[in-house]
């Protein structure tokens, strides 16, 4: 089939009639499917049921150092967990604090602490006229919600397959003291699945921020979440690179086991420099006596070591790979050559990013919803939910089963075709008029 | 023995010589004991080992509503846990949010949210010239640390066996708009073990604060932590009383299972009015997708219901009662009639509050430490660690075993006697001079 834009008005009208019929047929099926959130599916959760067995009433719940995990204490987490998560994050266990179940919560608390108390003796952000963050777009909606909640101005920076446009990042960061941070999902990014190139990470580590308290919020959410065993993205480790570049304190790095074991009941962690660690611990000791050490121990006993975790991730990949490949296949089959959409083909992570023709994303998501398929809201990948081109849609293929996913992805492509055809048809009418 | 103050100088000198000898003898034993923190002992933790068995890899991890506890979601906690904790806190499950493992963390977050965003549309505290809290003293050091960390002025209010001096509380709260809160441990208070009288709770509920965003921080940490089955303190439920008094939004109430199951791995909760709930949820949804639902389910399955929890608490009481009674016995035996100290005899909670003669607490704690017994730092029960009379010492009898506790309590009384005798002797010398 040729690109819609090259079709005659008459052919397009016929195509629209045909697509509407197909759409009605699907609507009649009363689908109720969800491709909106990056949630693991039941089969993935089942992979970690062994986590429920590693500790029982006969278990020794003491750490190697002799700490009773059941009692109070352990502000930064037990040594064994910091070693395991250190291997997962590629950081020194001494540079790691293990928190509760949510890395999002750590990010919120990190922004909140900077807001209430400042970073390393700098003015608390609440006392400043203006605080700004750079937001590579499209990006992760929950990041943007945190900065929005704190009244922080969000400046968008375009993403490329190599990461954020570093020319823009460098220029802004070095010239504006009000810019205090940037949100990054450096590996298998949300939503594109892009991984930052070596050049990008090198340039991040060598930023010359105007603000002393500028920090990179490095959310390495998908660090070991590969889809393929033999084709994986590697990322330069940012803390080490910043240290080498003479900027040791410039990064807060986040990760969790949410998409490794159980999203609600995993362990989350922050890695950062010794200076930042001391700064954080001076606050954290007022906030809690310690996080859940039994769950830390549970994770350590379940995985044994990083190799155990990597082997475990292969099982996740075996479940997710067919889902990503099916969606990509359906997109290829139904949309290739039509010139009405582009999409990413990630090697890991939880999402595929889809770009419609400008001005079509909202209409596509609405159409899909009316036929029973919930997509992430159009615009969600932009600060304030506003995609200036109205073209980006985040596709989350992990949660539905293959059978549902096939239906959902097919319906989605149908909606893309219908909305695009109608748009192009309307344009052709206007051009004639 | 007669009161030290009535003894002659010569008799006192002899007593001091004798006490010093005893002290040296104990020092020679090289004790290494700790009566400083309110930590459950190993035997108490062992009571909850069944918690490790209630969920295993064959368990159904879905809630009655069909929610998979392993996955994302559940911002306010699972229904079953809110019912159980509702019964524990004597609140409607709909008025409860289940958080992570630490009620201290909830309190910190509650102050932090008021500081960054304000309460129910009122000015964020960070934008105010001055914020003050009332602090009944002696009280809980970690409460005071939170308010100190946020630069909040702390105004002390004397505690009585019926609760804080309500004449003072009423006068201050109604006259000063900068007063935004009061820290309360209303039942088996930390450190005295006092429970607020009905009259006190009634007066709390009827406060007429000058500040619209004044809140009572009601830390009901020991709500079901009785030492005796047939002699228990009952407390008027504060949310209900505030509602009846026309002040429904005036309280944040906190509790946890930290001293019911495992301190590091329990579940914590906040109960408050529907208005406050909405206010909090609007913030919380930016901070997390939800807390650990598997651990919530684990607690529900372990206890079954509130009766199960109450029966469980009797086992704690059986372990703790002899410890409290032994300490009180040793205090009685060694100190009664000497006029050098008073102490509380609580029916529940985790502490005994000891008051030395003015100016002796620091010296007693120092002496005890030199002989190998760590007490809570003198002054810790006051804001900024400053006890104006230098007389209050918090005694925490729960963690050591009975044998150690006997040694520790005896050494403590020896230190009280020695420091007091020396002080009185010095005063007598001064009087003569």
Residue of A nearest to B109 (CA): A287
Q: How far is A154 from chain B (nearest CA, A)?
A: 16
Give per-residue pLDDT as tens, B292-345: 999 999 999 999 999 999 999 999 999 999 999 999 999 999 999 999 999 999
The vertex-B64 CA angle with B59 and B68, nearest 5°, equals 60
Q: What is the pLDDT of residue B432?
A: 86
Residues of chain B numbered 230-289 and touching chain A (CB < 8 Å): 258, 262-265, 283, 285-289
Q: Who contacts B432 (Cβ-Cβ below 8 Å, separation ≥6)?
A: B9
Q: CB–CB of A71 and B263 under 8 A?
A: yes
To test the contact with chain B by mutation, choose from A42, A70, A301 the residue with the greatest count of B C-beta atoms within 10 A, namely A70
Least CB-CB distance to A70: which of B45, B53, B117?
A: B45
- The 10s digit of each residue's pLDDT in B31-40 is 999 999 899 9
> What does the pLDDT read at residue B400?
95
Q: Which domains does chain A have, with CATH numbers?
A: 4-44+310-432 (3.90.1150.10), 61-304 (3.40.640.10)
pLDDT at B196 exceeding the cut of 80? yes
Q: Above 90 in pLDDT, residue B433? A: no
Residues of chain A with pLDDT under 70: none
* C-alpha–C-alpha distance, residues A415 and A425, integer Å: 15
Which sign, positive or negative, has the C-alpha torsion B330, B331, B332, B333? positive
- Dihedrals phi, psi of A180, to nearest 5 degrees: -110, -10
Non-local CB neighbours of A329 within 8 Å, separated by 6+ positions: none
* 3-class DSSP state of A393: strand
- Name the nearest CA neighbour of B42 among B409, B400, B421, B410: B400
pLDDT at A384: 96
Helix, strand, or coil (residue B52):
helix
Q: Yes or no: say if B209 and B179 are a contact pair by the CB < 8 Å rule.
A: yes
How far is A15 from A425, CA to CA, in rounded Å?
A: 10
As a whole number, mean pLDDT of residues B215-228 equals 98
Contact A69 B102 (CB under 8 A): no
- Give the single-character DSSP code of B41: P
pLDDT category, B427, cuts 50, 70, 90? very high
pLDDT at A432: 86
Q: To which residue do tokens 């997710």 refer?
A: A320
Cα(A380)–Cα(A385) distance, rounded to whole angstroms?
5
Distant-in-sequence contacts of A230-238, Cβ < 8 A, 24+ apart: A231/A347, A232/A347, A232/A348, A233/A187, A233/A188, A233/A195, A233/A347, A233/A348, A234/A195, A235/A186, A235/A187, A235/A195, A235/A196, A235/A201, A236/A198, A236/A201, A236/A202, A237/A90, A237/A91, A238/A186, A238/A201, A238/A204, A238/A205
> Chain A contacts of B126, Cβ < 8 Å?
115-116, 124, 126-127
Class of residue A116 by CB neighbours under 10 A (exposed 0-12, middle 13-18, buried 19+)? buried
Q: What is the dihedral of CA B287, B288, B290, B292, to 10 degrees?
A: -100
CA-closest candidate to residue A64, choices A93, A90, A95: A93
Dihedral angle of Cα A413, A416, A420, A421, to the nearest 10 degrees = 40
Decide if B420 contacts B345 (C-beta within 8 A): no
Cα atoms in the 13 Å half-sphere on the side-chain side of A315: 15
Q: Do A72 and B263 contact (CB within 8 A), yes or no?
A: yes
Distance (Å, whole) CA A317 – CA A229: 8
Q: Which two tokens stand for residue B211?
A: 């500040």
Distance from CA of A417 to the nearest CA of B (A): 33
Helix axes B402-432, B361-370, angle to 10 degrees: 130
Task: Tell me if A71 and B115 make a contact (CB, 8 A cut-off).
Answer: no
The pLDDT assigned to B326 comes to: 98
Complex ipTM tops 0.85: yes
Three-state DSSP class for residue B380: coil
Provide the terminal-to-terminal Cα distance of chain B, rounded to the nearest Å.
27
Q: Do A69 and B264 touch (CB under 8 A)?
A: yes
Taking Cα atoms as reference points, which of A144, A278, A148 lies closest to residue A217?
A: A144
Nearest to A41 by CA among A405, A287, A302: A405
Q: Are A379 and A361 in contact (CB under 8 A)?
A: yes
pLDDT for the residue A433: 80
Q: Does residue A390 contact residue A359 with C-beta atoms inside 8 Å? A: yes
Rounded to a whole number of angstroms, the distance from the CA of B245 to the nearest CA of chain A is 32
* Percent of chain B that is helix, strand, coil (3-state, to 5): 45, 15, 40
Give residue A193's pLDDT. Answer: 98
Beta bridge partner(s), residue A137:
A158
Q: Are B343 and B352 in contact (CB under 8 A)?
A: yes
Provide the chain B residues 36-55 that lie in CB contact (below 8 A) with chain A: 37, 39-40, 42, 45, 48-50, 52-53, 55
Nearest chain A residue to B48 by CA distance is A57
Mean pLDDT of B145-168: 98
Residues of B in contact with A108 (CB under 8 A): 286-288
Q: Is A72 close to B295, i.e. CB distance below 8 A?
A: no
């Amino acid at each position: 089939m040729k690109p819609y834009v090259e079709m005659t008005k008459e052919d397009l009208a016929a195509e629209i009639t045909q697509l509407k019929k197909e759409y009605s047929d699907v609507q009649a099926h009363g689908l109720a499917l969800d491709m909106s959130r990056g949630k693991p599916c039941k089969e993935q959760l089942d992979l970690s049921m062994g986590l429920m067995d590693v500790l029982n009433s006969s278990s020794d719940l003491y750490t190697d150092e002799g700490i009773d995990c059941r009692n109070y204490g352990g502000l930064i987490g037990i040594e064994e967990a910091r070693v395991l998560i250190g291997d997962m994050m590629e950081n020194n266990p001494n540079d790691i604090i293990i928190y509760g179940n949510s890395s999002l919560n750590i990010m919120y608390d990190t922004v909140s602490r900077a807001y209430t108390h400042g970073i390393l003796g700098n003015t608390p952000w609440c006392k400043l006229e203006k605080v700004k963050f750079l937001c590579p777009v499209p990006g992760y909606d929950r990041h943007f919600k945190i900065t929005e909640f704190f009244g922080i101005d969000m400046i968008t920076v375009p993403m490329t397959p190599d990461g954020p446009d570093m020319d823009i990042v460098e220029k802004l960061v070095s010239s504006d003291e009000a810019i205090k941070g940037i949100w990054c999902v450096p590996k298998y990014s949300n939503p594109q699945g892009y991984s930052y190139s070596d050049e990008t990470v090198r340039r991040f580590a060598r930023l010359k921020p105007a603000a002393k308290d500028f920090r990179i919020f490095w959310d390495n959410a998908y660090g070991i979440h590969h889809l393929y065993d033999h084709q994986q993205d590697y990322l330069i480790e940012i803390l080490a690179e910043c240290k080498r570049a003479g900027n040791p304190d410039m990064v807060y790095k986040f990760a969790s086991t949410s998409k490794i074991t159980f999203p609600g009941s995993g362990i989350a962690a922050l890695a950062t420099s010794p200076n930042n660690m001391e700064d954080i611990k001076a606050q954290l000791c007022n906030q809690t006596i310690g996080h859940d050490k039994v769950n830390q121990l549970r994770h350590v006993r379940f995985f044994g070591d990083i190799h155990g975790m990597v082997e475990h991730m292969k099982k996740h990949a075996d479940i997710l790979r067919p889902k990503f490949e099916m969606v990509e296949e359906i997109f290829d089959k139904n949309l290739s050559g039509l010139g009405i959409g582009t999409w990413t083909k990630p090697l890991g992570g939880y999402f595929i990013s889809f770009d419609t023709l400008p001005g079509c994303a909202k209409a596509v998501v609405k159409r899909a919803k009316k036929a029973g398929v919930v997509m992430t809201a159009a615009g969600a990948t932009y600060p304030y939910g506003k995609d200036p081109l109205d073209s980006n849609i985040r596709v989350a293929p992990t949660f539905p089963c293959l059978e549902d996913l096939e239906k959902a992805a097919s319906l989605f492509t149908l909606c893309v075709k219908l909305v695009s055809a109608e748009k192009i048809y309307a344009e052709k009418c206007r051009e004639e008029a």
